[in-house]
Structure 1
Amino acid sequence: MLPRILNPVMFRNIYKGALGEVAGRFIIENELGIKLIDITEPEKFEKFDFRLNEEVYVDFKNWDESMQVDRENELKKIRQKMRMVGAKRVYIINIVVEDGTKYEIKESTDGIIEIPGLITKNGDIITKPIEKLAKEVK
């Protein structure tokens, strides 16, 4: 085994997640000037990536079409984490929108807002989710 190559599980589960957090934070903070708050409380740590305030959390994803995600199962996990941290709303934000994906922000009645992407594959900023987040902090 080569010592400097990430194995596929580490790449997909750890590295891509960390990249999503860094990229998402950079886009939100630089495009909006919204400061995302780190979650430091041990009981809330790693439930979501950041928060906007005490009741609104943000979780970045770096999903692509090659990943098979059971949406309903993921939403169930998110609801459970919301209860654990006392969240009223959670933004689940994918970083890159897939080509050909119908761009639709989905809002559930229980406070989960799904944003399919912040940028295109070409790196262009998508303004719709940024405007939605801007309204959240005003």
Structure 2
Amino acid sequence: MTEVRFFHNAPDKLSAACRLTAAAYRHGRKVTVFAPEAGQATRFDALLWTFQPLAFVPHVMSTSPLAAETPVLIDTHLEDPQHLDVLINLGNDAPPAFERFTQVIEIVTSDPADRAPARARWAFYRERGLEPEANDLSARERS
């Protein structure tokens, strides 16, 4: 069964996604980052190269010839995901075929425009018999 984890109160969605992606990679997980909005995948790719100057998170777009051997993929459609371990959703809707993944990570900022679709995704997962886990990123920032 898929595990769903929400990380709320993120100051910035893409920066939080970078930190969560790097943490999953350090723990040996394969990660697919779903970035369905125009330009979002490109911005995330660039940020992943620069967010930690001394860290390296190997990643490529899911259409790259190196996708099968790269631990972090950035995918804009999720039509045929290659890694079915961790899925980080950057979209406003529940990702397609989310149940194929071991874990789904949802990131929510404090912006009301981001919170409303997040609540709908929380309800969507609950309606499918899943129990999402809530994680407050602002509490992590204070400690």
TM-score of the aligned structures, taking structure 1 as reference length? 0.31
Q: Comparing both chains, which one has the higher relative contact order based on Cα–Cα distances under 8 Å and sequence gaps of 6 or more?
A: 2
Select the structure that is richer in strand. 2
- Give 1 or 2 for the bigger CA radius of gyration: 1
